[in-house]
């Protein structure tokens, strides 16, 4: 009975994480032929006022269900306008020359009177911000493809685009099969010429060096320069990722990492950016407990293409609001089939930080005193199997003797 309960608990810890759905839309022209296509994911982080010298930050995503009213397809200019929620919209402006097209601007409009998103807002205004992303030189009759994160920060709004597929000025009424890949997804190294080099030395295989334990970094977010931290985190981080059939690993270097993010009532985010790793942690709370809700990761290795992974339906690192979560032992987190996170000496508190110090920690199972039950459970299970085998053997032997004597 004890063994069965342990197995159920252990399996519960390893529930598979599911990816969120992208927003996919098609816009037809006056001839009812496809002229604009988009399939992408967008996160919005907006800081807004809730009182005198008080503000909150909310994080929300572009939903699956949007309207395309206001979208326009012309010969040299086009607009993709996506409406959602109560008065919110996201519009992309395109222009075209003879051989290429580009994105001139992205206009995000949000309605502060929407209490379902902007809780306790003191304003009922509808505001707009205009970003100018570097999406240029997209070949006509190709689609723009970018799996890497594209972060646009304007005033109190941060927009994060990833897994983007965009095509404007579609010809022949169907999306192209050819893509123009963004620079961030391309390899940063030049492909060596295919010259054969002959040496007299015998070929030897060089084993992949084992990385040292990642350096523990201390990261914090404050509402402004004069405030104490509202989000705190400390951990060492390693990322394992696939390049074809090969699995590689890379450590995050705290001294070469920039820290960003925002604190909100129901959502807080931590963004870490370096030359090789971009990662965004999104935490949520239900007023009683918090958890890590989403991860967006981009790895830019020295060789090969960038690896991008996103998971926005997670529920790990759970603790009561006002507490911190701690796990000193190495944790392995499978984000997607191509990317895995390893954390070391982890401690996080995304809500309820007071005086810039961690609150009492909720320990992970591996750190707790119950961790000794793992080898005990395995031993009990093995003993149980041995007893079953022995009983089966004795019953079989007894039947064998009875059959022999009755002949």
| pLDDT tens track, the chain, 407 positions | 433 433 333 333 333 333 345 899 999 998 999 999 999 989 888 888 888 878 887 878 898 899 999 999 999 999 999 999 999 999 999 999 989 999 999 999 999 999 988 988 999 999 999 999 889 999 999 999 998 878 888 888 888 888 899 999 998 899 999 999 998 877 433 233 333 333 333 333 334 457 899 999 999 998 776 678 999 999 999 999 988 788 899 999 999 999 988 888 888 889 999 989 999 999 999 889 999 988 888 888 877 778 888 887 888 999 999 999 999 999 999 888 889 999 999 999 999 999 999 999 999 987 775 545 556 666 777 777 887 877 877 777 666 655 545 44
Helix 373-405 to helix 2-13 angle, to the nearest 10 degrees?
A: 130
Q: For residue 320, how many other CB atoms are within 10 A of its CB?
A: 16
Give the C-alpha separation, 262 to 58, whole Å. Answer: 9
Answer left, alpha or beta for residue 356, where phi above 0 means left and psi between -120 and 50 means alpha: left
The third-level CATH classification (topology) of the domain covering 16-184 is Porin (2.40.160)
Dihedral pair phi/psi, residue 400, rounded to 5° = -65, -45
Q: Are strands 143-146 and 179-181 parallel, antiparallel or unpaired?
A: parallel
Give the C-alpha separation, 377 to 294, whole Å. Answer: 33
Q: Which CATH architecture has domain 217-364?
A: Beta Barrel (2.40)
Q: Specify the pLDDT at position 321.
A: 93
Q: What percent of the chain has pLDDT over 70?
A: 82
Token duo for residue 227: 């405030």
Q: Which residues make Cβ contacts (< 8 Å) with residue 356, sequence separation at least 6?
A: 220, 228, 229, 232
Give the C-alpha separation, 303 to 189, whole Å. Answer: 6
Q: Specify the pLDDT at position 197.
A: 32
Instruction: Write down the mean pLDDT value for the chain.
Output: 82
Q: Mapped to the 3 state alphabet, what secondary structure does 80-114 carry?
A: EEEEECCCEEEEEEEEECCCEEEEEEEEEEEECCC
Its pTM stands at 0.56
Q: Which residues make Cβ contacts (< 8 Å) with residue 123, sequence separation at least 6?
A: 48, 49, 112, 113
b/e sequence 343-374, b meaning 16+ C-beta within 10 Å: bbbbbbbbbebeeeebbebbbbeebeeeeeee
Q: For residue 246, how many other CB atoms are within 10 A of its CB?
A: 9
Q: Specify the pLDDT at position 242.
A: 87
Count, residues in the chain: 407
pLDDT, tens only, 293-345: 888 888 888 777 788 888 878 889 999 999 999 999 999 998 888 899 999 99
pLDDT, tens only, 361-404: 999 987 775 545 556 666 777 777 887 877 877 777 666 655 54
Token duo for residue 247: 């699995």
Domain boundaries, the chain: 16-184, 217-364
Q: Specify the pLDDT at position 229.
A: 92
CB 240 within 8 Å of CB 251? no
């Amino acid at each position: 009975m004890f063994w069965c309960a342990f197995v159920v608990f252990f399996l519960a810890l390893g529930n598979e994480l599911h990816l969120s759905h992208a927003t996919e839309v098609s816009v037809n022209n006056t001839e009812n032929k496809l002229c604009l296509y988009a399939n992408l994911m967008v996160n919005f982080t907006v800081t807004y006022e809730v009182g005198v010298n008080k503000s909150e930050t909310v994080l929300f995503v572009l939903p699956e269900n949007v309207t395309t009213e206001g979208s326009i397809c012309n010969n040299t200019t086009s607009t993709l306008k996506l409406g959602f929620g109560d008065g919110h919209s996201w519009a992309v402006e395109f222009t075209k020359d003879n051989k290429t097209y580009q994105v001139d601007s992205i206009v995000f409009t949000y309605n502060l009177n929407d209490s379902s998103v902007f809780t306790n807002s003191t304003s009922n205004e509808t505001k707009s911000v205009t970003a100018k992303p570097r999406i240029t030189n997209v070949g006509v009759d190709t689609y723009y493809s970018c799996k890497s994160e594209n972060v646009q920060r304007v005033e109190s709004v941060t927009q994060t685009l990833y897994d983007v597929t965009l095509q404007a000025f579609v010809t022949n009424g169907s999306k192209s099969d050819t893509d123009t890949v963004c620079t961030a997804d391309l390899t940063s190294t030049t492909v060596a010429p295919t010259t054969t080099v002959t040496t007299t030395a015998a070929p030897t295989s060089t084993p992949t060096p084992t990385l040292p334990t990642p350096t523990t970094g201390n990261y914090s977010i404050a509402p402004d320069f004069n405030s104490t931290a509202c989000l705190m985190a400390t951990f060492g981080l390693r990322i394992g990722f696939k390049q074809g059939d090969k699995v590689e690993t890379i450590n995050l270097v705290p001294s070469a990492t920039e820290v960003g993010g925002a604190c909100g009532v129901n959502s807080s985010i931590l963004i870490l950016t370096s030359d090789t790793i971009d990662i965004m942690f999104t935490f949520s709370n239900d007023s009683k407990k918090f958890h890590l809700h989403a991860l967006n990761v981009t790895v830019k290795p020295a060789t090969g293409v960038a690896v991008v992974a996103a998971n926005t339906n997670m529920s790990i690192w759970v603790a009561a609001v006002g507490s911190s979560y701690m796990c000193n032992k190495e944790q392995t987190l499978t984000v997607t089939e191509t990317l895995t996170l390893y954390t070391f000496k982890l401690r996080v508190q995304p809500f309820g930080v007071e005086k810039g110090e961690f609150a009492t920690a909720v320990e992970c199972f591996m750190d707790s005193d119950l961790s000794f039950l793992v080898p005990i459970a395995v031993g009990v299970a093995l003993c149980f199997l041995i007893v079953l085998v022995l009983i089966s053997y004795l019953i079989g032997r007894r039947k064998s003797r009875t059959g022999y004597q009755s002949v």
